Structure 1
């Protein structure tokens, strides 16, 4: 259900505050290839006055200069993939060094260029960045010249305060400074999030909602938008006191405010996306497009010219009609730096607006074999590599074969039982058995990689390093043991059918289950894509589950707080903290190696 949107008056006050930030605090420029373009854009209005005087006497020259082309380069869902050894899926594309190289290549010869992102730049990251609270990822984004990004849901994985540290810099409150003589400086780019509002003050956002840039006298407004459902898919404690509002309505409320400031050209950086099924490597199609962003596009004010999206980890290059019937550019650049979207935004200096018929977009693959690694990002890797090697290469245990997530490629299907999800459940039940745990469940989105039998470095085939375990399960959630009745356990299994807001939403999230627990599952899907889960024959160690008896259930703190809409967990009559979920996994590997892939027949799917 959509939340009640804050009032237009409140959003106006918010926008005034955001504009004040824009005027007083411009993003830093720490690299030549970004600073030259930004300085041209920031200071071009001074030249405009001189140009105007010349053009007054040269009408022909003035006519030629009516249109100005601005390059917008964008990507999304980077997730701290600085190094190529964690890009995943055997990809020959992407990684921070090559993403930066492609951006630099595309900027060549472009007088006006901005680099943008649509969120999830950090969070859910491989160990090389995630072990250090994504400070390496932010430094790599600084090095590649990012200007603005919308805020994704994963930027909130460690809470609002940690996101503000990512923006503003400073040492981690628990782990301190990783380099004593060089405290973390924060992001040179600006994160933008207009629809995250304090529940106590409707004029307060943790970050600016928009930013304005001027090119040849034409103002461009960049609006950042966070996934509205963020509060259901990140840990509740870190976002306490903040509400996440409807993306389209929030952006529409900002349109008249931007227009009052002389902005006609508007770009939205939205962390929400769509779905399609392109052929492998075909990144510039828009066939049978569906998903939440289709509805958002239809609801957005026609004054918004470009929609740069993310979240679904899919590439697409669309022209979708706005509510007035005029096509609008809607793009997404895949994941992990594997694609860069290039938008040629043509501005009319007379109308100060985008000429959509002259504007275009293209998704460029970041093919590593055609690129030389960017030295600035390589320097970031070299800086952090010794710290990483000091903790990440220790062997935790071994496996006898690959332990994968569900789908093709692995991880693409969160609606099916997986060996990876069941492994985590096994580890958590085993680790917390002294707390009386009998059953464990694991959310599929909490497993971010596969455990691969083949060695990644020199650790030897089958051996699992701490870095690999962290990349597999990177969120550092707590592990809690809850008391639930049998009836409540059946109810939470039914909640695997998720509430959906639009076609393309994940309708079913399959929980990993620990060994000894089993049940029959029948899924019924309605015309709108929503589902109903019919749960039967629920057994623990072969015995029927008693609906009135109490059971001890181990889950991570994300689920215990009701994450992924599993609200039944919050009804537990008791909750005891065991420790960190990653410690449960590494302890299990140490004590039970070699670990074989868990079976995926614990749930008997009847259809």
Structure 2
């Protein structure tokens, strides 16, 4: 996931019915499928993004007890024929209230809401396969709840298997009977998962092509007389008007036409449309919305002959929270309040984070603070922090432990590696991508880069000198970045040592400030333009450097030092 989408959603959006009605309307069996995706353990999350009561002020949406109330209200419209499903990333990257107990509160709430079937997202692998399987099947954990017995609903994934045996981690699909009709649910997880999770604990797992995995099991499902097939895919879709693109659309184009519906996920946006006759739906993230898919099944054939979808916002205005889920929330809020509310510092201004970006100031305030804290915690020359590991901003005012935990919820450990200047430049080049540009926040140096070349131009040390390609520097990253094949850091490192968690480093760094913290985007990362095009020129890199030096001498380009 490259960017966290801003959640802006109308109260409900309907996609036109895709109908192939063949039987008399009164003979069709109506079934309701309610879908969630990308909850990330955000059971206490609220977002103020729209004015629901018309008073001119934005009102809250989300939170588990309100989500449960909406789902139960919808279920009441078709109580015998409703299923609740999810498309992955329900746990992992979670806030303190969930992560303090290994995300077991999230499972408790999913069960209270009546979850029927789900699949695996990349974040389900955040702590490795063994912990994922414990979450599914049950077992005690030192940080968990006593007597945890796992998930009381099936989790399916047809494309996640062990490398050595080629056996699947979980069942590929499950068949549910609703209103006397059978519906098959096949799960798949994005094949990009290995590049998004730590290696440790996931060494023996691999992800096969999603469409091929689905097509492998469709004939087996059809042999059992099932003609209604739904895919739970932790794969992104991107909708512009009536057109949906991305992995979810590619899956729709390449799977058996017996597949009727795809619940998508991963990129935290809305999808609600038809691709190759398949309905694709996705409902943002963090429990602020859900999808409501109404289908009609011809009992004579078992086929879905009509399907419509609605993306529903979990607006708190006008809705009473569900008391059962509310009691679960209150139980865990009480347990974590003392830790969560500890004030560790004060922000003199809002500190915005996330990924580095294109532009003359590609860095951001919170990313700079976190990277500086990493460098400080391990007494290193430099530090780099991946944008995907910065999950929230810090508000102006008192900074609490819980707030910082929400920013860095993964429990990654810091690694100080020895790298040559040449290797550091290679790592910086590796993190550049189209169309976004840079990823990492940095400390201990600034650098310039060019989009056309997709290449770092110059790297400057705090004293204004250029980095020495042959000099060895100490660079702090987190263990996810260190082991990431795309970064190349582990292979390039001369030596390494493990330090504290990234969260502890940031907390301690914030505590070290005597005054309210002021941090800015200050030009540590700068995109620079070139006068001549680079395409096809084998000497472009050197010419780019020469031209930038000329511009700097002319005062048209200024490198800032930190």
TM-score of the superposition, structure 2-length normalised?
0.84
Of the candidates 462, 469, 485, which is equivalent to residue 547 of structure 1?
469
What are the equivalent positions in structure 2 for 1:117-136 lying under 5 Å apart? 117-136=86-105
The alpha-carbon distance between structure 1 residues 212 and 231, as it changes in their structure 2 partners (threshold 3 A), is same
SS in 1 for 2:512: helix
Q: Is the 8 A contact 2:413 2:499 kept in 1?
A: yes
SS in 1 for 2:250: helix
Of the candidates 146, 151, 157, which is equivalent to residue 126 of structure 2?
157
For 2:217, the equivalent position in structure 1 comes to 254
Q: Is the 8 A contact 2:357 2:439 kept in 1?
A: no
- How far is 1:493 from its partner? 0.8
Q: Which runs of 5+ in 2 are unaligned?
A: 1-22, 51-57, 530-562
- How far is 1:387 from its partner? 1.5
For 1:171, the equivalent position in structure 2 comes to 140
For 1:403, the equivalent position in structure 2 comes to 351
For 2:439, the equivalent position in structure 1 comes to 510
For 1:227, the equivalent position in structure 2 comes to 190
How big is each residue's C-alpha offset from its partner over 1:511-535, in whole Å with a ceiling of 9 and x where there is no partner? 0001x301111112xxxxxxx5221
The alpha-carbon distance between structure 1 residues 585 and 86, as it changes in their structure 2 partners (threshold 3 A), is farther
How big is each residue's C-alpha offset from its partner over 1:420-465, in whole Å with a ceiling of 9 and x where there is no partner? 22221111000000xxx10100000001111111xxxxxxxx2211
For 2:237, the equivalent position in structure 1 comes to 274
For 1:199, the equivalent position in structure 2 comes to 163
Q: Is the 8 A contact 2:357 2:436 kept in 1?
A: no
In 2, the alpha carbon distance for the partners of 1:131 and 1:447 equals 18
SS in 1 for 2:480: helix
Of the candidates 359, 363, 373, which is equivalent to residue 311 of structure 2?
363
Report whether the alignment pairs 1:236 with 2:203: no
Of the candidates 38, 49, 72, which is equivalent to residue 33 of structure 2?
72
- How far is 1:372 from its partner? 0.8
Of the candidates 261, 281, 284, which is equivalent to residue 334 of structure 1?
284
For 2:419, the equivalent position in structure 1 comes to 484
Greater share of helix: 1
SS in 2 for 1:368: coil
For 1:592, the equivalent position in structure 2 comes to 513
How big is each residue's C-alpha offset from its partner over 1:391-431, in whole Å with a ceiling of 9 and x where there is no partner? 22212222211111258xx9999x95322222211110000
What are the equivalent positions in structure 2 for 1:433-582 lying under 5 Å apart? 433=379, 437-453=380-396, 462-498=397-433, 507-514=436-443, 516-524=444-452, 532-541=453-462, 542-562=464-484, 565-582=486-503
Of the candidates 141, 144, 148, which is equivalent to residue 113 of structure 2?
144
Of the candidates 369, 383, 407, which is equivalent to residue 331 of structure 2?
383
The alpha-carbon distance between structure 1 residues 83 and 482, as it changes in their structure 2 partners (threshold 3 A), is same
For 2:43, the equivalent position in structure 1 comes to 82
How big is each residue's C-alpha offset from its partner over 1:493-545, in whole Å with a ceiling of 9 and x where there is no partner? 111234x8xxxxx754520001x301111112xxxxxxx52212211112211
Higher mean displacement: 209-218 or 474-483: 209-218
- How far is 1:555 from its partner? 0.3
In 2, the alpha carbon distance for the partners of 1:65 and 1:291 equals 37
Q: Is the 8 A contact 1:157 1:235 kept in 2?
A: yes
Of the candidates 488, 504, 512, which is equivalent to residue 583 of structure 1?
504
How big is each residue's C-alpha offset from its partner over 1:358-378, in whole Å with a ceiling of 9 and x where there is no partner? 221111221110211111111
Q: Is the 8 A contact 2:374 2:505 kept in 1?
A: yes
Of the candidates 181, 200, 204, which is equivalent to residue 218 of structure 1?
181
Of the candidates 99, 103, 109, which is equivalent to residue 71 of structure 2?
103
In 1, the alpha carbon distance for the partners of 2:301 and 2:357 equals 47
Once superposed, what is the RMSD of the aligned Cα atoms?
2.4
In 2, the alpha carbon distance for the partners of 1:87 and 1:469 equals 20
SS in 2 for 1:92: strand
Of the candidates 369, 372, 379, which is equivalent to residue 426 of structure 1?
372
TM-score of the superposition, structure 1-length normalised?
0.78
Higher mean displacement: 123-132 or 261-270: 123-132
- How far is 1:164 from its partner? 1.4
In 1, the alpha carbon distance for the partners of 2:392 and 2:43 equals 15
What are the equivalent positions in structure 2 for 1:341-356 lying under 5 Å apart? 341-355=291-305
Q: Is the 8 A contact 2:263 2:282 kept in 1?
A: yes
SS in 1 for 2:121: coil
In 2, the alpha carbon distance for the partners of 1:346 and 1:329 equals 13
In 2, the alpha carbon distance for the partners of 1:101 and 1:411 equals 39
Higher mean displacement: 151-160 or 206-215: 206-215
Higher mean displacement: 590-599 or 220-229: 590-599
In 2, the alpha carbon distance for the partners of 1:341 and 1:494 equals 40
SS in 2 for 1:370: coil
For 1:57, the equivalent position in structure 2 comes to none
Higher mean displacement: 136-145 or 592-601: 592-601
The alpha-carbon distance between structure 1 residues 147 and 411, as it changes in their structure 2 partners (threshold 3 A), is farther
The alpha-carbon distance between structure 1 residues 582 and 225, as it changes in their structure 2 partners (threshold 3 A), is same
How big is each residue's C-alpha offset from its partner over 1:3-39, in whole Å with a ceiling of 9 and x where there is no partner? xxxxxxxxxxxxxxxxxxxxxxxxxxxxxxxxxxxxx
Aligned residues: 496
SS in 1 for 2:238: coil
In 1, the alpha carbon distance for the partners of 2:528 and 2:49 equals 32
Q: Is the 8 A contact 2:227 2:302 kept in 1?
A: yes
The alpha-carbon distance between structure 1 residues 122 and 416, as it changes in their structure 2 partners (threshold 3 A), is farther
In 2, the alpha carbon distance for the partners of 1:533 and 1:131 equals 41
For 2:7, the equivalent position in structure 1 comes to none
For 1:184, the equivalent position in structure 2 comes to 148
For 1:394, the equivalent position in structure 2 comes to 342
